[in-house]
Every structure is written in structure tokens, then in C-alpha cells.
Structure 1
Amino acid sequence: MAVDVGRGPGPVRVVLADDEPLMLAGLRTVLEASGAVRVVGVAGDGASLLAAVDAYRPDVVLADVQMPGTDGLTALRILRSRPDAPAAAVLTTFDLDDYVAEALRIGVQGFLLKDTDPDALVRAVRDLAAGGAVLDPRITARLLPHLATGWAPQPAGLTLREQQVLRGLAAGDSNAAIASRLGLAEATVKKYVSALLIKLGADNRVQVALLAKSWGLV
């Protein structure tokens, strides 16, 4: 099921996916009440999610991973393989499982609990649209065991500027936000982020953010 409400500048365009109609309705109400978010499509399974993304080209996808038929994880894996993929975050319950661990590995940009405070949920969607990473602090500790082994236990060997950028990533900031705060060009911040991924052995900025949080850099 999907609904198109038009294109153009303005609110962040979102596609929601969950196999519970009441959850979909609640999330939609919360997001659209802010005026900052427009839900352009909803889906009850992974196949419908992919169809909605193709049809409406959202800025952000929020998806449950366990859905009937084509599950959310499969759909997210397909989306993340595309060069023009929208930002994507997993909606989950507190009991994380192997599905969520796999979502971390395929590079989703956020992990949110379904009972996230409305204001925090809207803020997370806006951060995702801006290129940031979002991690509910209640699930960060449970995601850490799923990170790659062998990473450095502390940020040794990083320059001062790399540490400053790392703190921005840990806070979930976008490259543009980090650049504005540090007085750098966004392209320069992008180079620092790439260097950090290599030095820390991480695949994406969510993994970097998790690692930085484990060091207490936030």
C-alpha cells in the first residue's frame, strides 16, 4: 500500500515499512504532525517497500526487518546496493536479533526503537535526510558485540582533526554539520571520514559512531 503526495522541496519525504497496520498508522501520525516530515508511502512487506521506493523516491526509509514474504532485511540489502539509495534506518524492538546484526553489516544508517519519543523520531528522520547516523542510546550497547573484532580499543594514532570529526560522527552529525562546526569545507570532512573508515577498519559511519561511543567520545 502506498500513497503519493507529490514531489518538490519542503518536508523530508519518508517511506515507512512495517507489517503491523497500527504501528504504521501511529508512526505516520507522529511524523506528519511535526510538519517537517511527509510520509509518501507505506508498506507491509519488503516487496512493497521496494516498490514504494521506486515509485516515490523518498529521502528516508524506516523499516522493520521482520516482515512476511520478502522481509525488510532483504529489501534493505537491495536498497543499500544501489548508488542512489535513500538513507535507511531499522525500526526494532529492544530485543535485538541476528537480523539487526546483519542490518549493521549491510550499512543502514540508523537503529531506532519503535517506542522512540515523537520529537526524537522526527529529529532522527531529519538527521538521516541530512546524511547523519542515528542510534538510539538504549540499543547502542547491544549493537557493540556485533561489530568486527580486532578493532583498536581506543582511538590511537588519530590526528586532532580526525578526532574532532570522529566526535561529530559519534554524535550522528552529517558531513555538512561537521564542516560548519569545524570551519572546514564539506569535501574536506568527507576525506577525513574516509580516512577514519580505513584507520578504524569500519565499513560505514554507523560502525564508526558505535565504536566512538564505546570509547566514551560523546
Structure 2
Amino acid sequence: MSRRVVVADDHPLLLRGLADLLRATDGVELLEAAGSGIRALSVIRDQRPDIAILDVTMPDVGGMAILKVIHEQDWPVRVIFLSATMSGSQIAEALSLGVWGLLLKDYAAHSLVDCLDEVSAGRKWLPEDLVARAREDGGIDVPKAIASLTPREREISELVCRGFSNKAIAAAVGSTEGTVSIHLHNIYRKLGISSRTTLATLFVRHVEERS
């Protein structure tokens, strides 16, 4: 049975090489080789491929943002990330959003078909060295980073862990949504993360380790 695949990367030479490899692979129907995240998201939305191979970082819409949309919409699309390098916090976030595969670009030409076969069979392709990096939180000293938060930032973080929206947080702390967004931006920067999901995960883990 043919696997319907879309691949997206903003580097033309790499994209062309991956597209040629996929076209030459038995059982793969390449729907599109997209040079932008916006185009990739459009193809995913309209054609629902079985697998999306996405560059994590693209100038317009990166793979992480696309994965979030797929996760939120519950589309049956399995995502494989391509990256030159990924931080521990990025990997942790990708895992929390249900990524199926992680491939470093240096090894993509050699490992992509094997990764595709594993993911098609319902098995995740998550190299242990990359998963270990996520466990280490990208080298960030989490307790120290959390200790660096201001009292208001800690209060907002705890409300995020309880599932509060920005609007609800603003009402709870007597502030505005815009101010809450600024606080969240500062929190993300200090912790080296980029989502509420990862923030909640770090805080819960921190509490468990202290108890």
C-alpha cells in the first residue's frame, strides 16, 4: 500500500535531494516537496498525507508550529522532524506533541527510508542520543532556571499548570492579557522553552523532584 508523503525544507538543494530519494522509494507517493512551512501546512490541511517530513526551522512557519496544528486538530498525520540541530527543550516539546520521528539532516540521506518504514509500520524513530538530550532539558539547570523567575512569573507558571488561559490568568492576577503574554515570553526565554505544554511538564517534574 502506497504511503502518501509531503516533505518540507527551505534549503532547495536538500529538498531536491530528499524529494528525489522519496520518488525513487517503492511504496511512496510524494504529494509535494514544499519550500515553505505555509505551503506544507496547506498541503497537509487539504490532502492529509500519511506522513509529513518537516524541517523544524523555516522562515515562515516551522515544523514545530505545524506539529502543534496537527496535534490540536487531531489530524491523522505522522510527523517526522528534520533538523540540523535540536535543543533538549525542543525535543521534549516535540515528544509531548506526538512527533513520530527525529532525523538530523547530516544523516537524513542515509536514514530517511528506514525511518519512513518504521513510522509507516506504527513504530517511532527516536534515536536514544536525542531523547537523552531531552531528558537533560537541553543542558538547562531547571531548578536554577525556575528559581530565577520572579514571584509573578512563578504565579503565572503555576496557573498555566492548572490549565488557565491567558484571559483567566489575567483575571486571577489582576492584570491584562497583554501583560500576561509578556510575562510568558520572559518565562519561556529563561527556561529555554516555547510552549505551555513544556512549561507545565517542567514545573510538574520540578515539584515531583522536590517532594
Which TM-score band applies after superposition, normalised by the shorter structure? 0.5 to 0.7
1:96 matches 2:115 = no
Counterpart-to-counterpart distance in 2, 1:102 and 1:45: 22
TM-score by length of 1: 0.56
1:17 maps to 8
1:127-180 residue CA offsets vs partner (Å, 9 max, x unmatched): 212221111345333233249x9xxxxxxxxxxxxxxxxxxxxxxxxxxxxxxx
C-alpha displacement at 1:32, in angstroms?
2.2
1:18-55 residue CA offsets vs partner (Å, 9 max, x unmatched): 11111111111122222232211122232211101123
1:43 maps to 34
Counterpart-to-counterpart distance in 2, 1:44 and 1:72: 12
Amino acid across the alignment from 1:68? P
1:69 matches 2:60 = yes
Contact 2:48 2:75 in 1 (8 A): no
Moved more, 98-107 or 13-22: 98-107
C-alpha displacement at 1:91, in angstroms?
0.7
Counterpart-to-counterpart distance in 1, 2:96 and 2:44: 21
Structure 2 residue runs of 5 or longer lacking an equivalent are 143-196, 198-211
1:131 matches 2:122 = yes
Counterpart-to-counterpart distance in 1, 2:6 and 2:28: 10
2:106 maps to 115
Contact 2:88 2:136 in 1 (8 A): no
C-alpha displacement at 1:126, in angstroms?
2.0
Counterpart-to-counterpart distance in 2, 1:138 and 1:29: 28
Counterpart-to-counterpart distance in 2, 1:120 and 1:71: 22
SS at match of 2:61: coil
Contact 2:51 2:79 in 1 (8 A): yes
SS at match of 2:75: coil
1:53 matches 2:44 = yes
Higher helix share: 2
Q: Cα–Cα, structure 1 residues 99 and 44, in superposed 2: closer, same or farther, change >3 Å? A: farther
Structure 1 residue runs of 5 or longer lacking an equivalent are 1-9, 150-202, 204-218
- RMSD, aligned CA: 2.5
Alignment length, in residue pairs?
Answer: 140
Counterpart-to-counterpart distance in 2, 1:31 and 1:20: 16
TM-score by length of 2: 0.58
**Structure 1 runs of 4+ with >4 Å offset:** none
Counterpart-to-counterpart distance in 2, 1:42 and 1:117: 15
Contact 2:5 2:53 in 1 (8 A): yes
C-alpha displacement at 1:97, in angstroms?
5.8
1:3 maps to none
Counterpart-to-counterpart distance in 1, 2:105 and 2:131: 15
Counterpart-to-counterpart distance in 2, 1:108 and 1:134: 9
* Structure 1 segment 169-180 matched on structure 2, within 5 A: none
Contact 2:92 2:135 in 1 (8 A): no
Contact 2:37 2:66 in 1 (8 A): yes
